[in-house]
Structure 1
Amino acid sequence: MEQIVTMPFMKRRALILAALGLPAFTLVGRAGAGPHYSARLIGGERAGSTWRAGLDITLAKGWKTYWRMPGDAGVPPQFDWSRSRNVKSVTVLWPAPTRFADKGGETVGYKDRVVFPVDVVAEDPGQPIDLALDAFLGVCEIICIPVKLEMSLVQSEPTPADASLIAAFAARVPQKADAEAPFHVASAALVETDGKFDLALRLVGQGFDKDLDIFVEGSDFAYFRSPRPAGEEGLVQLRIDGLKDAQKLKGRQLSLTMTAGDIRLEQDVVVD
């Protein structure tokens, strides 16, 4: 069965806490809760052999969990669907995240509530799907709680509320920056200033002038901070932490997730 797990370069604060023996919470069944969160598997619509489910996480005020690239001080969620039955593959969709800064470092993820839409392909479309999840999450405020989830859900007719909730968060999943996208990156290059490196991106199109953020994946040895204007219209630079040798990034393909207002896009670029 297909399983998608990303483990980028990070100071994994939550994993360190877990290694020190802090308690984890185990949830068995469709739903459960800890002191600062609740989590449940919910069902959505089915189209052909594909059933769209969702992992619904609600967080207490001030608490957060992480995106697949969790910043320089977080831990990415890990999902294992291998206990599922009548399942050929599982694909987790990731709503666009937010960048947070606090005393512990910079993190990328979600506050309040997030639903990860999950596309499940059945081995036998004529039979119901029994979806089972083993997951590890970091749930953090000033401190982090390592959370282990064991949850399951048998496919059935969705409630209108659950189907609507999954659809709302699926609409927040970034789309490919194709020819019809409001904007895209025309070029990506490294810039060195006083011994420090920036990733310079040239944006073309419209709509990127409102609350622009860009999250960079594709390097396990460097972290890219938030974009800042670079003097020319459409040109932004992202400071790179952890990069000592520019040759390690030149020619490398990076995946960009870009948010600006209600626009959410994905694009792969090659660094000049």
Structure 2
Amino acid sequence: MLSSAAAWCDAGPVASDWYRGFNNQARLTAGQASRDGQTAIYAGVDLSMPGGWKTYWRSPGDAGGVPPDFDWNGSENLASATVLYPAPHRIHDKAGDVVGYKNAVLFPVLITPKDPGKPVTLHGKLEYGVCKDICIPAEAELQLVIPPDVGASAELTDVLARVPGQHVRAGIDPSLATWHLDRSSGKPKLVLDVASAALESADAFVEAPGGVYVPLPKRTADRSGKAVFEVDLTDGVDIKDLKGKPLTVTVIDAKGQSETTITLE
């Protein structure tokens, strides 16, 4: 079912109607927003769920799950749409740990028009999972007309500040201080030292390209200003599949987030 564009005015951001599914609702928003001092047009995929329900990050975690999928085919005057992911959280589930968002999430989408002087008609087909005790596949089809002079969106600027990036804000964002591959026990493990000003809430996630599974890091120790995480590289993964490939390490805490790329040699 297609949710059409709502009325818009030049002075502010725009939004589609809500598409209402089973225990979730979704819509598109759009506006001018800023990240790292750069202003551009962003859309937002806005998902809302009842209390206690959750949806997944791009890497759902050890207990399985459905990562969101975004299809922008059918859009007009769209050169590219790049989905960004706000910092997720580790969620303890009956089946194990998953990574995602509880109750609501807004995924920002960087919009590049083919012709910046004309409106973009953004047509999105979305597939995602919503879960409480069981996981339910969900989908929505949404459409929004984004005028070239669309107004500023404080909501999108706010969520962009929660997207992990390479730039680390001193005193705010946690960071990957050091890392190494430990083979001393005969079983290889990746050891991550995360520097954080909010140490109790520090967490880490590791992703490999091509959908190669990487187990969730386990917190094993705390040092002065650092949390130590270990990834068992014998648990459902062959280290040979990871060597020479860029691994994305995302670290979060209660104050901020950051992202680093490492390569196992």
Same fold (TM > 0.5): yes
Find the counterpart in structure 2 of residue 174 from structure 1: 164
1:44 and 2:31 are equivalent in the alignment: yes
Find the counterpart in structure 2 of residue 267 from structure 1: 260
TM superposition shift of 1:221:
4.0
Question: Which whole-Å CA distance do the structure 2 matches of 1:127 and 1:229 have between them?
Answer: 54
Question: Which whole-Å CA distance do the structure 2 matches of 1:58 and 1:190 have between them?
Answer: 40
**Structure 2 segments unaligned to the other structure (5+ residues):** 5-15
Q: Tell me which amino acid in the other structure corresponds to 1:43.
A: A
Q: Tell me which amino acid in the other structure corresponds to 2:103.
A: D
Deviations 1:24-77 (A, max 9, x none): xx4543321123111111121279994211111111111111111111211111
Residue-pair matches, total: 244
Deviations 1:233-260 (A, max 9, x none): 5461323363464444344321011102
Find the counterpart in structure 1 of residue 12 from structure 2: none
Q: Tell me which amino acid in the other structure corresponds to 2:131.
A: C
TM-score (normalised: structure 2): 0.80
Find the counterpart in structure 2 of residue 257 from structure 1: 250
Q: Secondary structure at the match of 1:224?
A: coil
Identify if the C-alpha distance between structure 1 residues 208 and 218 changes in structure 2 by more than 3 Å, giving closer, same or farther.
Answer: farther
Question: Which whole-Å CA distance do the structure 2 matches of 1:116 and 1:201 have between them?
Answer: 27
- Counterpart pick for 2:200 among 210, 228, 234: 210
Question: Which whole-Å CA distance do the structure 2 matches of 1:95 and 1:82 have between them?
Answer: 23
Q: Secondary structure at the match of 1:165?
A: helix
Question: Which whole-Å CA distance do the structure 2 matches of 1:84 and 1:60 have between them?
Answer: 30
* Higher mean C-alpha displacement, 51-60 vs 221-230: 221-230
- Counterpart pick for 1:191 among 148, 173, 182: 182
Identify if the C-alpha distance between structure 1 residues 168 and 247 changes in structure 2 by more than 3 Å, giving closer, same or farther.
Answer: same
**Structure 1 segments unaligned to the other structure (5+ residues):** 1-25
Question: Which whole-Å CA distance do the structure 2 matches of 1:225 and 1:45 have between them?
Answer: 35
1:98 and 2:89 are equivalent in the alignment: yes
1:238-249 residue pairs with structure 2 within 5 A? Answer: 238-240=230-232, 242-243=235-236, 245-249=238-242
8 Å contact from structure 2 (residues 199, 227) kept in 1:
no
Q: Secondary structure at the match of 2:216?
A: strand
- Counterpart pick for 2:139 among 135, 138, 148: 148
Q: Tell me which amino acid in the other structure corresponds to 1:52.
A: Y
Find the counterpart in structure 2 of residue 113 from structure 1: 104
1:214-233 residue pairs with structure 2 within 5 A? Answer: 214-218=204-208, 220-230=211-221, 233=224
- Counterpart pick for 1:201 among 185, 188, 192: 192
RMSD: 2.9
Identify if the C-alpha distance between structure 1 residues 46 and 239 changes in structure 2 by more than 3 Å, giving closer, same or farther.
Answer: closer
Identify if the C-alpha distance between structure 1 residues 101 and 194 changes in structure 2 by more than 3 Å, giving closer, same or farther.
Answer: farther
TM superposition shift of 1:178:
5.4
Question: Which whole-Å CA distance do the structure 1 matches of 2:113 and 2:212 have between them?
Answer: 37
Deviations 1:152-190 (A, max 9, x none): 000147677xx2222221121112145968553344323
8 Å contact from structure 2 (residues 213, 237) kept in 1:
no
